[in-house]
Amino acid sequence: MDQLKNQIPTTAEELQHYLELAKSKLTTNWDQLTDLFEHHTHELTIDNVLSDFKNFNVNPVTVSLTLISVTTLILLGKVFGSSSSEHHEASEKKHKKKSGKKKLSRAQRANKEIQEILDYVESEYVPEIDKYIENYQTLSKDELDNKFKFYDEMLLKELVKLDGIDVTGNDILRENRKKVIKFIQDHQKRLDKFKKDISV
């Protein structure tokens, strides 16, 4: 069986060559088979052949047809099998690409969360607070109070998020978190000072 497997073509060129060879052999064998049919039986019919197969009668006709069937099945299996394995390999590569992102360690994840909070506060709230302080004269007293409360509450919310980040056992992360907390608290103090100044 291993010897038979080694003879099965593995590339498209080998398969094409093998198919041409098989085609020419089948043509030659078909002629020989026809001679055998005529020689071994005078009345060869489909019913007789089917009957021989059902009853497991071994004769040149059943042996020849069995060999042709097995050869055809091997060739088809090889053709469709290689196509299926190529599809499977492509699918695996695609899956590896998708899941190729490394899973972050606990420290990397914590550092990423700290950085995201800093970036968010810098991009979303700091410019708005700057505008609020610069343009406060265009706002009514209610708008001033409402905006102050909003910014104060949003900054407090980000501080709570920072407190929830686990930096246990990592001095660098603890220091990073402390800097971001101070950054946010500085803006809270800035808001408090502003409110105090304009109330006077």
Q: Evaluate whether residue 86 is within a structural domain.
A: no
Residue 59, domain extent: 12-78
Helix axes 60-98, 12-40, angle to 10 degrees: 160
pLDDT given for residue 79 in this prediction: 72
Section 169-177 average pLDDT: 91
75 contacts: CB under 8 Å, gap ≥ 6: 18, 19, 22
* Joined tokens for residue 102: 């490394």
Section 183-200 average pLDDT: 87
Same domain, 61 and 114: no
Section 155-182 average pLDDT: 91
Q: At 100, give phi and psi (nearest 5°).
A: -70, -15
> Minimal CA–CA distance to 114: which of 153, 170, 152, 190?
170
Radius of gyration of the chain (CA): 41
Cα–Cα dist 65/53, whole Å: 10
SS3 of 154-185: the string is: HHHHHHHHHHCCCCCCCHHHHHHHHHHHHHHH
Is residue 59 predicted with pLDDT exceeding 80? no
Is residue 7 predicted with pLDDT exceeding 90? no
Between residues 107 and 99, the one the model is more confident about: 107
> Domains in the chain: how many in total?
2
Q: What is the pTM of this model?
A: 0.49
* Joined tokens for residue 32: 């020989």
Same domain, 110 and 189: yes
- Longest C-alpha distance within the chain, in Å? 123
- Residue where a domain stops, chosen among 78, 98, 118: 78
Is residue 15 predicted with pLDDT exceeding 50? yes
CATH number at residue 134: 1.20.58.120
Average pLDDT across the chain, whole number: 79
Section 87-109 average pLDDT: 70
CB 162, CB 117: distance < 8 Å: yes
- Residue where a domain stops, chosen among 60, 78, 96: 78
Same domain, 74 and 125: no
Same domain, 184 and 128: yes
Same domain, 66 and 134: no
Report the Cα 187 to chain-centroid distance in Å. Answer: 43
Q: Evaluate whether residue 178 is within a structural domain.
A: yes
Same domain, 115 and 186: yes
Is residue 31 predicted with pLDDT exceeding 60? yes
Sign of CA dihedral 177, 178, 183, 184: positive
62 contacts: CB under 8 Å, gap ≥ 6: 49, 52, 53
pLDDT given for residue 3 in this prediction: 61
Same domain, 119 and 63: no
Report the Cα 89 to chain-centroid distance in Å. Answer: 13
pLDDT given for residue 90 in this prediction: 67
Q: Evaluate whether residue 83 is within a structural domain.
A: no
Sign of CA dihedral 116, 127, 175, 152: negative
